Amino acid sequence: MRILVRGTNWIGDAVMSIPALRQLRRAFPEAHIALHTRPWAEGLFRDADFIDEILPFEESGSNFRTVLNQARSIRQQQFDVAVIFPNSYRSAAIVKLAGIPRRFGYSKEGRRLLLTDPLRVPDWKNQRHEVHYYLDLVGAISKELQGSRPDDAEISASLPVSDERRASARRLLADSGCKPGSPVIAIGPGSTNSRAKRWPADRFAELSDRLHSELGANVLVLGSRDERDVAEAVKEQAAHPPIDLTGATSLSEAVEILAEADLFISNDMGLAHVAAAVGTRTLVIFGPTDPVTTRPFSDLAEVIREPVECSPCMLRDCPIDHRCMTRVTVDAVLKKASAALANRPVAS
């Protein structure tokens, strides 16, 4: 059997789909599983042992032309089953035009007729973690094609990173000025799709200084090119500016760095999911978004938040005083960081 999985469009969602991809592999151990996804995802899934192939696609040209080009490319692969994680009409239209015989996805965005096996969106969609949304889809596929749903006893969002990539990260950290033997703490002060999710830059600047002075840590900033503005604000307000790698790494390099870091502290952003998935202790500052549904799915991740009456509001800009984020103090985050580093292994 040849199975095509249409991947998600955001880094955090991609990580939250890992348990479902792992379950799909357990349900169909002999199948050829290909992940149809955006080019950046190759850096995330490069060492994944639960898929056989990555088929990257570019969004270029007109919408209709893009759909036809992607469908034509997929058709040549002769897949038997399509698993569509995104809820968009376009993602279903592409696999329909590609001629894949069985097409599983949620019945949203008016695309029911494009799917051979449409699933109703579960009633608990906004009450349970997002990983279960993808898992439920894979469970339905297994029940339909094999007669039973896979066991949910083992649900893991872990992501392997090879020894070679880890060694590359250590070289990059050394070249960037990290002091050998000292803990490496990465911070993520940005958030590309919501300003409301950002803890204030001056708080990150103070935190960076205190991580350096009180914990003796190497502090570095990670993020995309779109987050350079907030990284610059953090550096300008810090007495001891952190090492700034914002926009200077590919996603693959960011994955490798996070795998070698001792701790990651960030807003609710995609890299927080990545850090926990690659086995790094992670502190995530939540405000307007809901940690019940979108926190990193790992025991290594801890949410820091101050409950307020208007949160979670899910707004991208706060219309009042941003109280959900400003009430989170530097002292509170530093205390959590110190505890997270207490049991770190001695650096070689």
The pLDDT of residue 153: 64
pLDDT band at 347 (very low <50, low <70, confident <90, very high): very low
Model pLDDT for residues 252-288, shown as the tens digit of each residue: 999 999 999 999 999 999 999 999 999 999 999 999 9
Spatial CB neighbours of 179, under 8 Å, sequence gap ≥ 6: 218
Give the end-to-end CA distance of the chain in Å, rounded to a whole number: 46
Same domain, 127 and 187: no
CATH number for the domain spanning 291: value is 3.40.50.2000
Task: Decide if 100 is inside a domain.
Answer: yes
The pLDDT of residue 61: 57
Task: Decide if 154 is inside a domain.
Answer: no
Same domain, 111 and 249: no
Range 130-151 average pLDDT: 92
Same domain, 139 and 177: no
Same domain, 126 and 261: no
DSSP 66: H
* CA pair distance 46, 58, nearest whole angstrom: 18
Task: Decide if 155 is inside a domain.
Answer: no
Task: Decide if 347 is inside a domain.
Answer: no
Task: Decide if 152 is inside a domain.
Answer: no
Same domain, 188 and 142: no
The answer to whether 93 and 114 are in contact (CB under 8 A) is yes
What's the domain range around 104? 2-146
Answer whether residue 93 shows pLDDT above 90. yes
Same domain, 101 and 241: no
Answer whether residue 321 shows pLDDT above 80. yes
Q: Which helix (H) or strand (E) holds 213?
A: helix 201-215
pLDDT band at 320 (very low <50, low <70, confident <90, very high): very high
Residue 335's SS3 state is helix
Same domain, 179 and 123: no
Answer whether residue 8 shows pLDDT above 90. yes
Task: Decide if 21 is inside a domain.
Answer: yes
Domain count, the chain: 2
Same domain, 43 and 117: yes
Same domain, 174 and 307: yes
The pLDDT of residue 151: 73
Same domain, 192 and 312: yes
Same domain, 103 and 183: no
**Torsional class of 137: left (φ above 0), alpha (ψ -120 to 50), beta (otherwise):** alpha
Task: Decide if 125 is inside a domain.
Answer: yes
pLDDT band at 145 (very low <50, low <70, confident <90, very high): very high
Answer whether residue 348 shows pLDDT above 50. no
Answer whether residue 154 shows pLDDT above 80. no
Same domain, 195 and 123: no
Answer whether residue 152 shows pLDDT above 90. no
The number of helices, as runs of H, and strands, as runs of E, in the chain is: 14, 12
